[in-house]
Amino acid sequence: MSDAAPIRGHEQILEHTIELFRGFPIPPGVELQLPPPSSTTLDIRYEEYVPARSLKATVVVSERFANAVGLLQGGFLSAMFDNLIGPLSYLTARGPTTSLELSTHFLRSVFPGSKLTLDAVVRRAGRTAIYIAAEAHNEDGKLVATAMSTVQVIQMPSS
């Protein structure tokens, strides 16, 4: 498969990710969980991955993530972005990464039961850092939030 060929569908993206992760050095005692518990809790469904470029996902907002006035609590939307940016950074670096910064800007209220589409795009990928921008849109296609992240590429020692 060409590196530029899009991969579509949740299961296919997970299979591609698992295959790549098999080559990662994993510290002793660490058991890799894909998708991670945070993604399964939020019920994120990966829709399309364009290698080293973008990752798209959808999520139906659960009532469990509502704030006191019945809207999606902003921290959960930030977590949704983080669960999109993290995998995209790993796949782009072809190895482990860690977030240095994640900024979220909230533009519109989101109600439980709403379906969001999240898109993350690599803005710049370097040897030591990756810069990723993301957007969340509601079912009407309206922009509800944006995020920007700086991710550090972890240099693993050679065996």
Say how many domains are in the chain: 1
Asked whether residue 1 carries a pLDDT value surpassing 50, the answer given is: no
**Quick check: is 29 in a domain?**
no
**Quick check: is 143 in a domain?**
yes
Half-sphere exposure of 140 (CA within 13 A, CB side): 7
**Quick check: is 144 in a domain?**
yes
**How many other C-beta atoms can be found within 10 angstroms of the C-beta atom of residue 82?**
20
According to the model, what pLDDT value does residue 139 have?
98
Greater confidence (39 vs 26) lies with 39
Burial of residue 71, with CB atoms counted within 10 A of its CB: 0-12 exposed, 13-18 middle, 19 or more buried? middle
Integer Cα distance of 119 and 133 in angstroms: 8
The CATH number of whichever domain residue 133 belongs to comes to: 3.10.129.10
CA distance between the termini of the chain: 28
**Quick check: is 83 in a domain?**
yes
Integer Cα distance of 70 and 68 in angstroms: 6
**Quick check: is 27 in a domain?**
no
According to the model, what pLDDT value does residue 102 have?
98
What angle separates helix 74-93 from helix 10-21, to the nearest 10 degrees?
50
**Quick check: is 26 in a domain?**
no
Asked whether residue 143 carries a pLDDT value surpassing 50, the answer given is: yes
Q: In degrees to the nearest 10, what's the CA dihedral of 135, 108, 106, 136?
A: -20
Its domain, for residue 140, covers 7-21+35-153
| 106-128: average pLDDT | 98
What sign for the dihedral angle of Cα 73, 107, 54, 111? positive
**pLDDT, mean over the chain:** 93
Tell me which H or E stretch contains 133: strand 129-137
**Quick check: is 58 in a domain?**
yes
According to the model, what pLDDT value does residue 117 have?
98
pTM: 0.92
Summarize pLDDT for 50-101 with one digit per residue, the tens: 999 999 999 999 999 999 999 999 999 999 999 999 999 999 998 889 999 9
| 120-141: average pLDDT | 98
Please list the residues that pair with 140 across neighbouring strands: none
**Quick check: is 92 in a domain?**
yes
In the block, tokens 């065996």 appear at 159
